Structure 1
């Protein structure tokens, strides 16, 4: 049995590995930009980054989390913050515009679900990504990881941001 998260109080199986600090960051995946362009995982390699997996930007917890990371991005020069969900790129673009989100980038895993499987956050029973945060250095090594045990919880921002600041 793989790892799970609580979804509306029910244990939900997640596909893919459970990454740990010190693991190499997977790059064998493809995302879709807000402009409907494919973004291969390799294109993100070699740069310090925070990957934030969320179920949907249109939920209150994801909205708060994404806004918080957008605010914090101003204090993290040289570190990209990328938010990944299963939302359609059109919905992501609309949400970013309505929320005034300009410092983080949003990407969709709706086509292949390959990011979710590579990072161990795809929940096939609900067709969404579980909540998790990955801080990855320029050498593509995971420096911090948090899989939320319940998708309704927010991450430990202080721990993630401390790890992100150490990248710069």
Structure 2
């Protein structure tokens, strides 16, 4: 995978982000990831909906858990929108977390097997084989309308900006 020019740190130390860095205006690349039943899910299955892709390193960390709780809460207020929560966690861990937290407005997807999402969207942390933190919003026609690669992985994404963009598309 090709290295991006993103400057991202993890707990203050630099990490290398690899894959195809996307930008606003790009056609959203098709990707496949696994749902909690180990079934492949493709981005194209959500055609005609606004797609919020919540990207994070591991569901078992405080910031990642908060990120998922917030987007789960907001998802119920968004018309014609699906929230795809994606990491390299195993589907079992994602399912356990969502069950314990009562999160049922997001769809968790695991990129652990092929890193298909991470490679096509430029979110792979080379040193850790995890995804870096960020948000991608895709409109109903499949165009990327918002991308955030959070510069410090332990920081939260810009929820307000992402939700503003998503609400404007619904």
Q: Please say whether Structure 1 and Structure 2 have the same fold, judged by a TM-score greater than 0.5.
A: yes
Unpaired runs of at least 5, structure 1: none
Secondary structure at the aligned position of 1:94 is classed as helix
| Aligned equivalent of 1:139 | 141
| Aligned equivalent of 1:6 | 9
| Aligned equivalent of 2:162 | 160
Q: Distance in 2 between matches of 1:63 and 1:74?
A: 18
CA root-mean-square deviation: 1.2
Instruction: Tell me the matched-pair count.
Output: 167
Q: After the TM superposition, list the runs of 4 or more consecutive aligned residues in structure 1 that deviate by more than 3 angstroms.
A: none
Larger mean Cα displacement after TM superposition, 52-61 or 40-49: 40-49
Larger mean Cα displacement after TM superposition, 39-48 or 87-96: 39-48
Of the candidates 150, 153, 165, which is equivalent to residue 152 of structure 2?
A: 150
User: 8 Å contact 2:38–2:91 — kept in the other structure?
Assistant: yes
Larger mean Cα displacement after TM superposition, 1-10 or 30-39: 1-10
**Residues 13 and 50 of structure 1: CA distance in aligned 2, closer, same or farther (over 3 Å):** same
Q: Distance in 2 between matches of 1:41 and 1:118?
A: 12
Give me the TM-score of the superposition, normalised by structure 2: 0.94
Unpaired runs of at least 5, structure 2: none
